[in-house]
């Protein structure tokens, strides 16, 4: 029994074991409630995503692989990584376009199986130019998956649970991402080739699992769609996301945020290796820890945010947390602060990325969700072009400290932009 009467004047305040037990039970109830009401299909999509992302070892270590194993310069490494971004832009646009025409089932199936040979071929190319071309092709192949997957989540989720359905999917991504880099750090210490072949194997398993789970469900959904009444027939013309100026402004802010955030996947591992002098194993542990934080707290935080905050406030808070995270790195390289920084970055990620998808799905029409998801995917994918080039350039000229402080300032500006942009997207609702 703990007496808090000295800290709180008046009547004595006692915390007994029973009080602690009640608090734990309430927290556990809130946590379990955050998973309730999700459709079976939402869970299945997340399982497939987990299988796929458990092999996500290549991208976080691609910069380290090029500098450490292939002996590329920092500038050449940034150039190759930017081609991943170009492929992401093309893949996001193409994925959204063809998803609206042939459906998300065929697009996701193609992407998963076609990624397998691409990953296997990557270690055969050893020059910046040839590797850049292969990274471009692999990126296009992999990234057509994203808008199709987002459409599938929106299609199978119950309307009142759409944000949590996106969160569940992202939780699976991050659980896989916590496994992948941690394992990747260990495998790369033996041979970098294991990174590529493990990614290929994971994509293959995910492809078979997806076909097995959704083949019959997709056919049943198509059969039901063919029986809809006349008023549900696709209209002659529906608003293009590229002419929706408010959504375009929102996507520009998403690009700014993503350019800053995705330093996590390129410049941050180089910072850990070159400035902090960490080995691959420790880098993998830090990146894996980020995924664990997201897995443990995503559903809980999203559930709380939906109940207590507006979507505008959620976006602002998440962006500010990311700003604090990067700013910390500009002042200290101590291991404790590295973990504090990655924790803030993970919590900010939780509050931004699922709601970014929810805003996009809510803004889209009934028959052009693929195009809207594709455009938002493009806004994020642009970061894969700019982020490695800009991050590595600033780090090489001005140093990592100025890079991180500048990133923090840019994120604070983005948080102000989100405040006004999201309100304008939904002027007649509590945004």
pLDDT at 4: 44
Of 103-117, 134-148, 166-180, 246-260, least confident by mean pLDDT is 166-180
Q: What is the pLDDT of residues 93-113, one digit of tens each?
A: 888 888 888 888 889 899 999
* Domains of the chain and CATH, by start: 40-220+244-425 (1.20.1250.20)
Q: What is the pLDDT of residues 319-361, one digit of tens each?
A: 999 999 999 998 888 899 999 999 999 999 999 988 888 898 8
Burial of 234 (0-12, 13-18, 19+ CB in 10 A): exposed
Look up tokens 């990953």; give the residue.
Answer: 119
Sequence-distant (≥ 6) Cβ neighbours of residue 118 within 8 angstroms: 134, 137, 138, 141, 142, 200
3-state secondary structure of 14: strand
First to last CA, the chain: 44
- As a whole number of angstroms, the distance between CA 161 and CA 188 comes to 39
User: Taking the model in full, what pTM does it have?
Assistant: 0.71
**For range 266-270, the mean pLDDT:** 84
**For range 404-413, the mean pLDDT:** 96
3-state secondary structure of 276: coil
Closest CA to 264 of 29, 59, 4, 53: 59
Sequence-distant (≥ 6) Cβ neighbours of residue 94 within 8 angstroms: 140, 144, 374
């Amino acid at each position: 029994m703990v007496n808090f009467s000295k800290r709180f004047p008046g009547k004595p305040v006692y915390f007994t074991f029973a009080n602690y037990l009640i608090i734990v039970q309430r927290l556990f109830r809130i946590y379990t409630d955050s998973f309730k009401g999700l459709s079976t299909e939402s869970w299945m999509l997340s399982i497939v995503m987990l299988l796929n992302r458990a092999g996500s070892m290549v991208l976080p270590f691609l910069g380290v692989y090029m500098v450490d194993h292939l002996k590329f310069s920092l500038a050449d490494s940034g150039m190759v990584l930017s081609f991943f971004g170009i492929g992401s832009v093309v893949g996001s646009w193409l994925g959204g376009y063809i998803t609206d025409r042939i459906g998300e089932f065929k697009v996701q199936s193609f992407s998963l199986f076609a990624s397998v040979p691409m990953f296997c071929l990557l270690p055969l190319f050893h020059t910046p130019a040839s590797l850049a071309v292969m990274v471009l092709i692999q990126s296009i192949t992999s990234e057509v998956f994203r808008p199709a997957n987002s459409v599938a989540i929106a299609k199978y989720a119950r309307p009142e649970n759409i944000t949590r359905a996106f969160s569940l999917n992202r939780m699976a991504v991050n659980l896989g991402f916590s496994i992948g880099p941690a394992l990747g750090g260990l495998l790369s210490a033996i041979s970098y080739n294991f990174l590529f072949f493990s990614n290929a194997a994971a994509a293959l398993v995910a492809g078979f699992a997806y076909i097995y789970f959704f083949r019959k469900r997709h056919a049943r959904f198509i059969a039901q769609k063919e029986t809809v009444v006349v008023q549900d027939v696709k209209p002659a013309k529906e608003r293009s996301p590229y002419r929706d100026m408010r959504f375009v402004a929102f996507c520009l802010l998403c690009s700014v945020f993503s350019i800053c955030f995705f330093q996590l996947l390129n410049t941050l591992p180089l910072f850990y290796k070159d400035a902090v002098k960490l080995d691959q194993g420790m880098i993998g542990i830090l990146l894996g820890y980020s995924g664990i934080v997201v897995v443990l707290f995503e559903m809980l935080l999203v559930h709380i945010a939906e109940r207590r905050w507006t979507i505008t406030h959620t976006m602002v808070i998440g962006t500010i947390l990311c700003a604090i995270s990067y700013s910390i790195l500009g002042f200290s390289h101590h291991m404790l602060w590295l973990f504090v920084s990655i924790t803030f970055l993970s919590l900010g990620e939780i509050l931004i990325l699922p709601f970014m998808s929810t805003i996009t799905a809510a803004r889209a029409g009934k028959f052009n969700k693929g195009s809207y998801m594709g455009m938002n995917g493009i806004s994020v994918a642009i970061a894969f072009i700019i982020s490695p080039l800009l991050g590595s350039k600033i780090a090489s000229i001005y140093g990592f400290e100025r890079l991180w402080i500048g990133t923090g300032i840019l994120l604070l500006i983005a948080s102000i932009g989100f405040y006004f942009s999201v309100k304008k997207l939904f002027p007649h609702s509590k945004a």
